[in-house]
Structure 1
Amino acid sequence: MTHYPSPAGPGPAADDAPQDRLRLAELLGALSHALDLTEGQPKGHCVRCCWIGMQVAAELGLGQQARSDLYFTLLMKDLGCSSNAARICQLYLADDLSFKRNFKTVSGPRQGLGFLWRNTAAAEAPWTRLKTLKQVLARNSEIAGELIETRCNRGAAIARQMRFSEDVADGIACLDEHWDGGGQPLGIQGEAIPLFSRIALMAQVTDVFAADLGADAAAEELERRAGSWFDPDLVPVFTAVIRRPRFLADLQAPALEAAVFATPQAQHIQAVDEDYLDEIARAFSLVIDAKSPFTHGHSQRVARYTGLICDQLGYTPERRRWMVRGALLHDIGKLGISNTILDKPGKMTDREFALMKQHPVLGHAVLSRINAFRELADVSAAHHERLDGKGYPYGLDASRLTQEMRVMAVADIFDALTANRPYRAALPLEKTYAIMDDLAGPGIDPECYAALQDAVTASGWPAASDAPLAGGEWELPLAQRSA
């Protein structure tokens, strides 16, 4: 059970500290754990890649600006990774998380065929599996290019939105290019591939192989791909780092994350002000909502409704801003839920629903890594709790739900009901209110719900035919979705 604050009314919280103590490296390092979730990687993958890459940067004698740009390329290399998850499930009839995790160890055509055989439609009937494999093999190169292009271009675009340099954006955009021109999405080769991309890809492979097979295996894998995937001049630099006596112990040490945040590149980055923090939250909301076609725009709409409710309840501008930020990030844990569950058109099994109910827990684990976000993590994680204690994931009742938690729950439900879901179409406003009327009291806070209604009336809610067509994952009615 996580810690939750005591119930409190609107107004600035005691720990609403200014963000001048929050460094960009600390913030993005914590948020990088959300990217690890959607790539199916063990916790800390991006941070470990950053540590590996910066060891190499020191060996290369890169200048201060180059090291800074490389640092954030490595931390944010997977910014676009959520954007192809639904497509992977659709094309391969596979769990996107295990598919991505297993794909990281594929290095050649023979391994690629074995990977497809093991990971395509594995849970389907034999005829469906064979049919899907045939379709995939017929378009394998085209499909791979499509998936990687989507990921790389999306990641680069989000990096630009987060104010990173063009070198960082290019480093992310070309992450999957290979030295011999056999990579994706552009097929560029040699030194035309940005140096940051070359280092990031090798750092990624190093972490994956070292974790599974040990340091020697990681070094040998880089040497085996020298001149094909990897820059042959960079491979000896990497292997010299990998074969240091304490490399694997340092890579797996609990203190590694603190060491990454203590590097000169992290220390010299300017503090995160309120405006920049809002931009980062908006950018990560795009990563979150890209996970499923049914969540396009959900986080930003929930943030809008949250802000409108806060206005009606008389929140201060500072606390309103804080709440909107939390709403933008409230579903960050969904990056760790497979699209086979998120996009399922039918009723979930008990196991699937149990996994779905873990997304607030995963989100809390990410956000609570940031000291300044501890209370925000508590509020965001409670968006599926109910006043009668029958919500999830912790079954908190009214005595433990702050007003901020209740506000976010109302905003989330409203957007989910007025949006398309895999199992039903978007509901008109009248039907939405009828459902929420029944929830008011046992499920949602009547005062927060009334504030939402007042805000919707004042804002001129569109006709049902013009309502948003994508939204959240509120499973309603709960009993029908939980079995």
Structure 2
Amino acid sequence: MVATLAPARSACQAGSTSPVRLAETATPGRLFTNTQIRRSELLAAMSTALDLTEGQPAGHAARSCLIASKLAVKLGLPALDRADVFYATMLKDLGCSSNAAKMTWLFGADDRTVKHDIKTVDWRRAQSKFQFVNAHVAPGAGMFTRVMRFAALARSGSRGEKALVETRCERGADIMRELRFPESAAQAVRHLDEHWDGGGHPTGAKGFEIPVAARLAGLAQTVEVFLNTLGARGAIGVAELRRGTWFEPSLVDALVDLADDKPFWDRLSTVDLQVQLAEFEPADSVRVTDEDELDRICEAFAKVVDAKSPWTHKHSEGVANIAVGIGAELGLPPIMLRDLRRAGLLHDLGKLGVSNMILDKPGRPTDAEYAEIRKHPEYSEQILNRVHDFKRVADVACAHHERLDGRGYHHRTTGDHLPTEARLLAVADVCEALTADRPYRDGMPWEKTKSILRNDIGSAFCGDCVEACESWHDKTTITPRIEAQLEEIERLVGSIV
């Protein structure tokens, strides 16, 4: 059940649109009860959203970070290099959503499945590459469709392959900079997929041209991918097969020396990875997040979410802005508006776990596809609840599809138990979504959007929140995203054809 942060408004349930300001009837509490959150704890939790996008089990990035950090300690790297290894490996997939739509377009398949399985293949071997493509191009489709997909992949060739990696790595490095990590950490993310012998992407860097943090992160993620299926010795065996080609020989040798460290490998299967991460985080880089850094992290992950599909370009930012506008109309204090903006930025984290085959489908989703879409608030909740002090913001952010009449999802919470902030966010989300283009319809004009919101007052939406949205709209303009979306789609198509 979603926690009640503020009393439900009787006007919402009755469908009233009386202009009563929230501050006159309720005193909402802060969503963030404690902003003294350890940075590594917060980013480790958020990295599970990146695991979703990559089709990996939760904790993939955290376990990769532990493996890379263990090797960094064994090799005696200085503290600054170990800090780069720690954060670059944990956040190695920051750019992963930026090529999801491209992956789906090229393969005609679930981007998460393609991304997961490609990590298990030596794509530099022609036979392995052919077998992978044959198994993953338009699975289940007719012969004509598959032939067309094969032709598209053939046309894109190595250039398209490089572009997929380049988009991902460059975007990840950019977000590392936005999070104010040092340039050395950003470069480590950028060079994640380079190989020791120069056969990787995106630049073909080789040997010591590749930052040591990138060399360790690339090795660690491969070991982690094979760990569950092959065990520690089997995973290390894969690394040995790629010694001198994919991976620096001395790093593989150091990894082999860890093969008999059973306690370490056993600990990777525990659920409490955060305790282990705290042990490996270099002491000089340990810190708690302040308010400004918390904002930056929320903004960064909103960009990761919105990059998943050209049709959701800046959706999270738009929802956050509308929510703040509604909150201001309702009289929320500035500190609460700041928290509300963060909830808006993070509300769709779980969409990283939804296939682009569904998100970008040029037609209305089927019932089965809607069922998959409806899982995203639950995914968001699971991610945010990994940070203890995010419990309240999780309750609000993940209730944005709940309805006053209890027919929403995923908890089917009724208005009596829905916090005002969640009811407000629900209006902001629908308002932004309706005015934006979707693959199966154009963005709606404001008058039609307003009519839809008003028609669902009392059943889905709080009347005061809808009225506040209208009042805010009269004072401002919802910037159309049509041009931005078209630019994104043109960029997407232009980079792969």
Coarse TM-score class (shorter-chain normalised) = over 0.9
Give the drift of 1:151.
Answer: 0.1
Give the drift of 1:246.
Answer: 3.1
In the alignment of these two chains, the number of paired residues is 466
Give the structure 2 partner of residue 479 of structure 1: none
Give the structure 2 partner of residue 34 of structure 1: 49
Amino acid at match of 2:191: C
Give the structure 2 partner of residue 392 of structure 1: 409
Q: In the alignment, which of 241, 250, 253 is matched to residue 270 of structure 2?
A: 253
Amino acid at match of 1:431: K
CA deviation profile, 1:429-470 (whole Å, cap 9, x unmatched):
1111111121122111110010011111112456xxx56567
Kept in 2: contact 1:419–1:470 (CA 8 A): no
TM-score computed with the length of structure 1 as normaliser: 0.93
Give the structure 2 partner of residue 13 of structure 1: 29
Give the structure 2 partner of residue 67 of structure 1: 82
Amino acid at match of 1:97: R
Amino acid at match of 1:256: L
Kept in 2: contact 1:420–1:469 (CA 8 A): no
Gaps of 5+ in 2: 8-21, 486-497
Give the structure 2 partner of residue 348 of structure 1: 365
Kept in 1: contact 2:112–2:355 (CA 8 A): yes
Instruction: Confirm or deny that 1:131 pairs with 2:148.
Output: yes
Q: In the alignment, which of 200, 208, 216 is matched to residue 225 of structure 2?
A: 208
Give the structure 2 partner of residue 478 of structure 1: none
Gaps of 5+ in 1: 472-483
Give the structure 1 partner of residue 447 of structure 2: 430
Amino acid at match of 1:24: R
Q: In the alignment, which of 21, 38, 61 is matched to residue 23 of structure 1?
A: 38
Instruction: Confirm or deny that 1:77 pairs with 2:92.
Output: yes
Kept in 1: contact 2:406–2:415 (CA 8 A): yes
Give the structure 1 partner of residue 16 of structure 2: none
Give the drift of 1:94.
Answer: 0.7
Give the structure 2 partner of residue 49 of structure 1: 64
Give the drift of 1:18.
Answer: 4.0
In the alignment, the residues of structure 1 paired with residue 42 and residue 481 of structure 2 have an alpha-carbon distance, to the nearest angstrom, of 35
Instruction: Confirm or deny that 1:372 pairs with 2:389.
Output: yes
Give the structure 1 partner of residue 251 of structure 2: 234
Give the drift of 1:193.
Answer: 0.8
In the alignment, the residues of structure 2 paired with residue 266 and residue 354 of structure 1 have an alpha-carbon distance, to the nearest angstrom, of 45
Secondary structure of the residue aligned to 2:361 is coil
Kept in 1: contact 2:2–2:417 (CA 8 A): no
Secondary structure of the residue aligned to 1:246 is helix
Give the structure 1 partner of residue 195 of structure 2: 178
Give the drift of 1:257.
Answer: 3.0
Kept in 1: contact 2:2–2:399 (CA 8 A): no
Kept in 2: contact 1:309–1:451 (CA 8 A): yes
Aligned pairs for 1:152-301 within 5 A: 152-265=169-282, 268-301=285-318
Kept in 1: contact 2:169–2:191 (CA 8 A): yes
Once the two structures are overlaid, the 10-residue window that deviates more, 95-104 or 234-243, is 234-243
Secondary structure of the residue aligned to 1:383 is coil
Kept in 1: contact 2:62–2:90 (CA 8 A): yes
Give the structure 2 partner of residue 362 of structure 1: 379
TM-score computed with the length of structure 2 as normaliser: 0.90
Give the drift of 1:388.
Answer: 1.3
Amino acid at match of 2:175: I
CA deviation profile, 1:461-483 (whole Å, cap 9, x unmatched):
56xxx565679xxxxxxxxxxxx
| Shift in alpha-carbon separation, 1:293–1:218, aligned structure 2, 3 A | same
Amino acid at match of 2:321: R
Kept in 2: contact 1:25–1:266 (CA 8 A): no
Once the two structures are overlaid, the 10-residue window that deviates more, 267-276 or 58-67, is 267-276
Moved over 6 A (4+): none
Kept in 1: contact 2:5–2:28 (CA 8 A): no
Aligned pairs for 1:72-111 within 5 A: 72-107=87-122, 108-111=125-128
Kept in 2: contact 1:418–1:468 (CA 8 A): no
| Shift in alpha-carbon separation, 1:438–1:3, aligned structure 2, 3 A | closer
Kept in 1: contact 2:380–2:394 (CA 8 A): yes
CA deviation profile, 1:274-315 (whole Å, cap 9, x unmatched):
011001111111000000001111000111001101101111
Give the drift of 1:142.
Answer: 1.5
Kept in 2: contact 1:330–1:363 (CA 8 A): yes
In the alignment, the residues of structure 2 paired with residue 221 and residue 31 of structure 1 have an alpha-carbon distance, to the nearest angstrom, of 29
Instruction: Confirm or deny that 1:119 pairs with 2:136.
Output: yes
Kept in 2: contact 1:418–1:469 (CA 8 A): no
Kept in 2: contact 1:367–1:377 (CA 8 A): yes
Kept in 2: contact 1:294–1:470 (CA 8 A): no
Amino acid at match of 2:147: L
| Shift in alpha-carbon separation, 1:78–1:253, aligned structure 2, 3 A | same
Give the drift of 1:404.
Answer: 0.5
